[in-house]
Structure 1
Amino acid sequence: MYFGKADVNTFERGSSREFLLSNGKGGYAFSTVIGANTRNEHGLLVVSGEKSCVPTVYVSKVEETLFARNKKYQLSTNQYKDTVYPDGYRYIQEYEEDPLPTTLFVIYNIMLKKTVFMPKGLPCTVIKYELLTSQDRLQLEIRPLCAHREIGLTCDNVSFEADIAKQVLSVSGNGCQSHIYATRGEWTYKPLMFENLMYTRSESSINGKNMENLWSPGVLSFEIGEGEAVYVAISSEPMQLDESKLINMEAETIKWVKNKTKRAPTQNVLIASELIKSASNCIKELEDGGATAISGYPSLREFSRDAFISIPGLAKAYGDPIIGFKVLRTWLARAKECGYVMPSEMDGMNKKPKIAAADCGLWFIYAFSKLMDQAGNISAMESWWDDLKRLVDKYIEGIPELDLVCDNDGLLDIKTRNPERHWMNGVVDSKPVVERRGKLVEINALWYFVLREMERYCDFMEDENAKKYGDLADRVAESFPSVFWKKEGYLKDWVDGNESDDSIRCNQILAVSLPISPLDPERGRSVVETCWRELYTTYGLRTLDPHDDKYKGRSEGRQDQKQKARFRGMAWPWLLGQFISAFVKFNPDKKNIVQYFIKPFRAHLRRGCIGGIAENFDGSMPYLPHGDVVSILSVGEILRVIYEDLADL
């Protein structure tokens, strides 16, 4: 992924492109390619704190100043309320990620290369400065800007102290410590407050502020000559570092990053390799050897549904389903804590599972089924079997915590208007953005798939419950079309007694995209054609037919209007993945068309967070991205399509 001068020669162009690194343990570095932080979620070193899952921004960024031939050149860039200063982006000639984020500054005949990386598993970010060309030895000054606060906040009231010992600068404040080490140079204690730095793109501001004051303890100064390199390491823990260790860290990090993409497919290799890098930033290894998934950046939430939908694609891309099974094991343990009701998310503040959505347990079985197919070893079922039955039997018995019952017709019925029970969970002024209740189309499509899979697994395990699941699946197969089918050729979104939502919505695509469908081929084809005609856009399926009176296709205006747009017209890439699978199922002779559904993301990967896919897009022109700049849902589903539906092209 390469960007030339024309891509970064203005603040607007450079600040619209972001890079993301992670250490695989929940720590990350996240900023724009020109080094200007535009979100309070940005930071050069961000690590999850001990007291909560909410990440803490330790060092926000560093200011860099180059001295050459009695002149001073400020290489960094900041945005303030009324100005951009300094404007170091003017000296950037190129930015690329091959395999690490690298920026080349060019000032006349001086070429200075800056590389940023995070070693695997360490709460540490390393910056390498390498002088490629210069007739003279130069002086470089590095000034760190410290935050020591949780994302979503600002550090205006934090009191700092600094200590310099054995070439290590240690900064204390707000119960945190930052440690900054360099392979060369001297520290000068010269405290300075950088006031009113502006964040124009913050997504999760808790205190409502978009400006921040950052404290700097002093300056690191060192000389550097042509062909020389200097490392600066920033850590949230004391570390014994020297130049040889940092050189080895760099080599090991490059190897680690390259290994992530070594199994990338030959088809769409560029887009797949970039997506795998982004996906890997969303996988978090746990101390017990397990793993979990972060739903996206900058939201940094743990949603089980997002994990279960995306894991099949991520595991396929990694070439090994083990990482997927690790994530499932983590969530299964959480479900056991909740009496085998699958939690929908982890509360970031108290690290407790939250029960809210009715479909998470069903998506768990979907992910498990996909991973078992990838593994090709159904004999591994035994260690999971009792837990799978208890998860599914909960749905048959009814789940009071979710206001859910299994009706006499075999369909799942949600006896509440609470939007938390389904994925269209937006709320404005205490009212659901989309009112849904009763029998929901996508939940019952999933339910039918789950029952058929359980019937299959029972046969393999020689379990006497095969008939129970099979008979119930037969009832669902009979009830589903009679309840949801519209003679106009599509499916109702929900049905509650004599009431229903007959608008054309995206949720119906799951009734045909899942490997097992409750619809006959004729009706299935009609659903695909309707979704293609009415809901398809460049980057996803719209959440509502644009001809509907409630349609709101663009995220614009007041915050409440933006929230409404998410589920009343905006397009979601993860639904495009489901649409593509359905399209291929009913149009096997048109597989070559699928590549045209994927190609637009090649351009998108160069905008927003480089190599990632946003959470959602406007459903109407100009189809701007919104939400998380890297969404595990979006990335995982597009990867799944590349591997499953483009595999033989």
Structure 2
Amino acid sequence: MSYLKFNKDLMINLEYSLYRNVLRTNRRGAYQNTSISGCNTTKYQGLLVMPVPFLDNENHLILSSVDETVIQHGAEFNLGIHRYAGDNYNPKGHKYIREFNCDSVPKTIYRIGGVILSKEIMFSSKENRLMIRYTLLDAHSPTKIRFKPFLAFRKASQLTRENDQVDKSYRMVENGISTCMYFGYPELFMQFNKEPEFVYHPDWYRDIEYLQDLQNGDTYQEDLYVPGYFEMSIKKGEEIIFSAGDILVDTTTLSNEFNFEMQKRTPRSSFYNCLKNSSHQFYYIPNKDEYYLLAGYPWFKVRARDQFISLPGCTLSVGRPNDYENIMDTAIPHLRDFMNDKPYKSYIKQLDDPDLLLWVVWALQQFYFENKNQFIKKYSEFLFEIIEYILSNRHPNLVFHESDSLLTTYGREVAVSWMNAMIDGRPAIPRSGYLVEFNSLWYNALKFTEEIANETGNHEKAALLAEKSSLAGKSFIKTFMNDAGYLYDYVDGYYKDPNVRPNMIFAVSLPYSPLEKRQKKSVLDFVTKELLTSCGLRTLTPKSDKFRPHYSGSENEKKFAYFNGMAFPWLLGHYIEGYINVFQMGGLSLADRIMVGIENEIQNDCIGSISEFYDSNPPFIAHGGYSFAMSIGELLRAQKIINSYK
């Protein structure tokens, strides 16, 4: 039975199909993404989106879409769909869709009278190249197919208009053409596995609109360039394969290549397989010696905090320890350069976030649980370097206090934590001073490093760390624990922030916690009653007058709502871990219910993946990046924790 299958009734309902999209990627930063109806609904969507290093570090939309037209007895049936000004959809090719499924590759079945046509989309795993396989399953008379490519050649974050700067020239290549609209871009090679007829008919299609950008208050209208169209006959049972990419290919190999790529795909036949496939989509390997994790799609690059939070789940939890080591080994030289105040050039951004090194220690700890000997051999010295760096107060915005053995940071004018929304140049939530998750991570880091020091025979270092961790544990409870039974979110001078936020969950979930079991249960009780939803943990209790359950309004209102009520799936990983830490086998029932609840989202927004955040009240609409590494990684890690107890 198909896990990600959508029937005709759902596909012809644009209110449903336009709000569900499909994503395919390679490991070089390129991707293919569009709604399941085939209509692009944001400027970031298209058949071929890829980095163009010659121009900048951004993604660029090269090929927006391809309209297919089935021709029989001179009658033309266009399978494409675009939205134009005035809420006008033309052509309305979605009405011919009989079914869509995405278990292996995105596959659409069209029926036009007696013609049944299959369309399968494959994104190359190694190249910036898209392949589409068309199979004529049934036809009772001679049939032709016309292919009309819509080109953009622009930044994915920007839009284009008809202009006279376009290079309209093209050249014939094997079974196709190549063209390049603007200087600095690579050529786009459009080829088939059989010879087509190319009709040169350059034109602009004006005022194409992107519905979700319009609804989000973003720029939403552009013109797209069409150089002409390809046309060829197709027989019953025949396959036509279309290839579009930045390299010329041998078209005689397209069929074998498509089949080979199909065999490599893990079917999205279950929730776990969907998460596993999504985890692979974040891998970014710009060259053979560098490995990273992208923060998400469609607009995120490599963000340091996101990478290390996502790393254990996206590698270790799916049985890929070698990938963990490759990514960690790529990052360590850059982290060392940062700690030694040396200039560094890296794809990783935001290395100076004050909590980053604490997350690095946590990620290293997860690897230690998988392979202790390899960790001791490879990463123990780097762990000691991090702790010494923090203890010696060399970080520009992370201060260790000998008096209480805790950490402070300055966040009144700059966002310092993962709650990093900014409004008019200032933090939407100015968390400063002693932050609860910073010091939860810090206590865990001290205890973990103490453990490693003992294992490596460095007992003097272990004793020093034991002394500091003991003081840190007592200071943590004194600083953050309040009479109500939960933890202050941050303490800045005489101010103790009483808002119930999810940042206190780390004091329960981390391997080493300064809290007693009774205190852990009390914290869990607050989180469960006030923050837990089916899509994640709320970022603020509904009891607060600042609580915003829906991501709506002006841009600033959305930024304010971002961490004042939105629900984040990635926090479920630590919630489940904390709950099982406290209740052991008795916590499995709730953990299973949480995973079943979030599984419902696998058929919404980006099908087969999980979004960045959700409204925290019904109907729990998804927002932000529609495939988000932290969400995927932590859900995979949570599932592994559940399975280990079972």
- Common fold, TM-score beyond 0.5? yes
Deviations 1:584-604 (A, max 9, x none): 111222312211111122221
Q: Deviations over 1:404-438 (max 9, x none)?
A: 34352000011341342111111112332112110
Task: State the alpha-carbon separation in 2 of the partners of residues 626 and 193 from structure 1.
Answer: 32
Deviations 1:209-263 (A, max 9, x none): 31111111111000001000111100122x23223x11221122123222x98xx
Where 1:639 maps in the other structure, the secondary structure is helix
Residue matched to 1:251: 259
Matching of residue 489 in structure 1 with residue 496 in structure 2: no
Instruction: Give the deviation of 1:382 after TM superposition.
Output: 2.6
How much has 1:396 moved relative to structure 2? 0.9
Once the 2 structures are TM-superposed, how far is the Cα of residue 622 of structure 1 from its aligned partner? 2.1
C-alpha distance 10-511 of structure 1, shift in aligned 2 (>3 A):
same
Q: How does 1:251-330 map to 2 (within 5 A)?
A: 251-258=259-266, 270-330=270-330
Q: CA deviation at 1:630?
A: 0.6
Deviation of 1:53 after TM superposition, in Å, equals 2.5
Q: 585-594 or 272-281: which moved more?
A: 585-594
Answer yes or no: is 1:198 the counterpart of 2:195: no
Gaps of 5+ in 2: none
Contact 2:303 2:349 in 1 (8 A): no
Structure 2: how far apart are the matches of 1:130 and 1:320?
A: 36
Q: Which amino acid aligns with 1:163?
A: Y
Q: Which amino acid aligns with 1:627?
A: G
Q: 1:306 to 1:117 in 2, by over 3 A?
A: same
1:33-91: CA deviation from partner (whole Å, max 9, x where unpaired) = 11111111111111111133211111111111111233110101101121111110000
Displacement after TM superposition at 1:385 (Å):
2.9
Of 350, 356, 363, 1:360 maps to 356
Which residue of 2 is the match for residue 564 of structure 1?
A: 560
CA distance in 2, matches of 1:462, 1:141: 72
SS in 2 for 1:19: strand
Would you say the 8 A contact 2:612–2:624 is kept in 1? yes
Separation of aligned partners in 2, 1:32 and 1:304 = 30
2:31 aligns with 28
Question: Is 1:630 matched up with 2:627?
Answer: yes
Q: 1:549 aligns with which of 545, 548, 551?
A: 545
CA–CA separation in structure 1 for the residues paired with 2:303 and 2:532? 26
1:69 is aligned to 2:69 = no
**Range 510-519 or range 429-438, more displaced:** 429-438
Q: Distance between the aligned counterparts of 2:610 and 2:107, measured in 1?
A: 21
- 1:226 match: 236
Task: Give the conservation status (yes or no) of the 8 Å contact 1:334–1:342.
Answer: no
Give TM-score scaled by structure 2 length. 0.94
Q: 3-state SS of the aligned residue for 1:72?
A: strand
Match of 1:336 in 2: 336
Distance 2:348 2:623 in 1: 28
Q: Which amino acid aligns with 1:78?
A: H
Instruction: Work out the CA distance in 1 between the residues paired with 2:320 and 2:341.
Output: 28
Partner residue in 2 for 1:265? none
Partner of 2:170: 163
Pick aligned residue for 1:94 from 94, 99, 107: 99
Q: CA RMSD in A?
A: 2.2
Question: What's the counterpart of residue 18 of structure 2?
Answer: 15
Q: 1:355 Cα deviation (Å)?
A: 4.0
Q: Distance in 2 between matches of 1:13 and 1:476?
A: 52
Q: Is the 8 A contact 1:335 1:341 kept in 2?
A: no
User: Corresponding residue for 1:445?
Assistant: 440
Residue matched to 1:420 = 415
8 Å contact from structure 1 (residues 538, 597) kept in 2: yes
- Stretch deviating more after TM superposition (537-546 or 9-18): 9-18
* Higher alpha-carbon deviation: 73-82 or 399-408: 399-408
* Aligned-pair CA distance for 1:322: 1.5
Match of 1:266 in 2: none
Compute the displacement of 1:395 (Å): 1.2
How far does residue 161 in structure 1 lie from its aligned partner after superposition?
2.4
Structure 2 residue aligned with 1:209: 219
The code of the aligned residue for 1:46 comes to V
* Alignment coverage as a number of residue pairs: 633
Return the match for 2:249 from 227, 235, 240: 240
User: How much does 1:520 deviate?
Assistant: 0.8
Number of the residue aligned with 2:200: 189
Give the letter aligned to residue 215 of structure 1: Y
Secondary structure at the aligned position of 2:68 is classed as: strand
Q: Measure how far apart 1:341 and its partner are.
A: 7.6
Structure 1 CA distance, aligned partners of 2:152 and 2:345?
26
How much identity, in percent, do the aligned residues show?
Answer: 25
Cα deviations by residue, 1:322-374 (Å, 9 ceiling, x for unpaired): 1122222222222123235899x999xxx574444211111111111112212
Query: Letter of the aligned partner of 1:55 in structure 2?
Result: N
- The amino acid of 2:170's aligned partner reads D
Secondary structure, aligned partner of 1:603: helix
Q: Is the Cα contact below 8 Å between 2:168 and 2:202 reproduced in 1?
A: no
**Helix, strand or coil: the match of 2:208?**
strand
- SS of the residue corresponding to residue 519 of structure 1 reads coil
Is 1:620 matched up with 2:623? Answer: no
Matched with 2:390 is 395
